[in-house]
Structure 1
Amino acid sequence: MGHPPDTHSVRTPAGTTAAPGLTPDLTTPIPWLRWALVAAAVVAGILLASCLLCTVRCCHRGRRRKRPRDKEAVVPGTAELTTTTHLVQPELGNVASGPGGAQQWGRLQLSLEYNSGSQEIRVGLKQAADLRPRAPGGTADPYARLSLSPDAGRVHETKVRRGTLCPVFEETCSFHVLPAELPRTTLRVLLRDHRRLSQHRPMGVLSLPLGSVDLQHVLELWHPLGPPAAAEPEQTEELCFSLRYVPGSGRLTVVVLEARGLSPALADPYVKIQLMLNQRKWKRRKTSARKGTATPYFNEGFTFLVPFSQIQSVDLVLAVWARGPQLRAEPVGKVLLGARASGQPLQHWADMLAQARRPVAQWHRLQPAREVDQALALQGSPEPGPPRAHCPRARGNKRLPSTVCPS
């Protein structure tokens, strides 16, 4: 027989211990809480794995950075390098720039023209480029010295170009060469860095055999410079002196400091100072002799009165004299300064006029005495003047020639 259903009893899920009378709202959230815990564990695992992966990658990068960069760039068995330009610092001598690729000592542009009628070769020194500085990132004061070999005749020096590695010269000089001597003649151009009180630094040399150049046409080409060691040994006799000019009082002060490079066979060297006005001999002075030395130190000063209106008409000649093997005094070399000079002497004279009232000292290479005498003779014959017998005051050279014998 059946029993009527009990309306007061409620079925509960298996595995629950809920007491009768509790509502289902208190027991249903339990499965969702388990899913939340599982999701939190999965997220934590992912974060932990990410941290471990980042740590491994950072350690791997640190090991790669400790490897040498040069070894990293070179791969054995490969013909190409993967290094970039900033990894390798090139040498200054291997840098090529400019049209045609500049050599390590720079380039020189010059023109050549031979006149068969006058038998002279005309050399036009245009400019230089890509010269080496004194120090990385520095500059120089270059000038050029032109000569012919094997003939040790006339030598031409350009003006000094201050503070540049690409000097523009634009100077022309001529050399007398017979047509039969052209095939065995070489043009030498030596570039030097001018230093006022020390040895001039060679910057590069050009040796151009004239026999390999077509001189029937005017040539204007760029030529690479070679190392300075290829230059021939040059004259080493030098004289150091300072110049000072005061325009107001007209005082020209010459202080002879020292000489160097003189031959040990010479004895008792001394210096003669000669002042010429309008190509006429005017005043002379000389230092005392220094015995037993090839590098005499003088430090003697001489003052001349030269009005500012006549300073451009003055020629100053300093000559080193000494006794040779025949016990006779002979000139070792001379230096010509003034408005009609050239090269470094002209630059020294210009610096003296530009820096008035301040002494300007500089070393000068001694030129052959015959060459300086010829340069003075080329200026024209001196104007005839009154005999010394009619001008007794000229004996002491106390005044300018224009005021000694008034007409």
Structure 2
Amino acid sequence: MNLSNPDFNVAQFQRQDSLTGMGLGLGRLKPELYKQRSLEGDEGSRRGGGCGRLHFILKFDCDLEQLIVKIHKAEDLPAKDFSGTSDPYVKIYLLPDRMTKHQTKVHRKTLNPVFDEVFLFPVAYSELPTRKLHFSVYDFDRFSRHDIIGQVVVDNFLDLADFPRETKLCRDIQYDNVDLGDLMFSLCYLPTAGRLTITMIKARNLKAMDITGASDPYVKVSLMCDGRRLKKRKTSTKRNTLNPIYNEAIVFDVPPENIEQISLLIAVMDYDRVGHNEVIGVCRVGNDADNLGRNHWSEMLTYPRKPVAHWHPLVEATYELSPPPP
């Protein structure tokens, strides 16, 4: 595939945030260095149990009104690396607030990491019944996305813990498919014009990312080749909703000889005016996608010039998806 083909560019839009063209002279790409692993990962090791256990301690400081969480250790984690080990770390939220996130250090090459790290969450005691403590255990990968090992959710503080005294807890780490919502979009390819059109229609039941119980979602579409992002576009942002309606078209110029090597990585993002934009969930379509993503792409190619629409469930993005430059 000749990436320096001058026809292989994003269709130009009349807007201020036009994209910078892909730099040339990249040399020969080595797909094995950039190829992404499946977004859904190794399902065999994720379904149900078999993900190890997490030990942690809870305490509540009534004077300072803060929940004290000590992540002690994890045991019997599944091996995610070829060496038979993992490089685990833990992220922790006090839901529904996702603005405050804590993270442990990464422990290299171990399935039984001892963290012994303490994190503080300011919260009134009266609010505890409405809060959930969410632990996500990840395997760090220096060159690719960080693979999620599993999660622990604690939502009945007052029944479990003997506040204000310390309470030691141990929970099985589970991998459950978290419901992040669904995205509907259509694909249409015009071979004669070499034009790929993605129409973002709407989303439903998105995960709430703000403490208000809503989100400010927009959709970012990345044109991918062998795991490398070539171009990206985004929709407008819809405020304070979990069921946004877009009806916005995004167009890429893709010659027929290149269409088989291309895929689309689609991320639903939560806009944050002050902090960083967060990924709500992602899906992928293309010949190398899984199940629905591959079938949708195949249907588009089978029926050229005809928009083909489907709902796609969003999955967790466990690799870094930086927001587009301003």
TM class by shorter chain equals 0.3 to 0.5
Give the structure with the higher percent strand: 2
Which has more helix, going by share of residues?
1
What is the TM-score normalised by the length of structure 2?
A: 0.43
Structure showing greater Rg? 1
Tell me the TM-score normalized by structure 1.
Answer: 0.35
Q: Which has the higher contact order (CA 8 A, sep 6+)?
A: 2
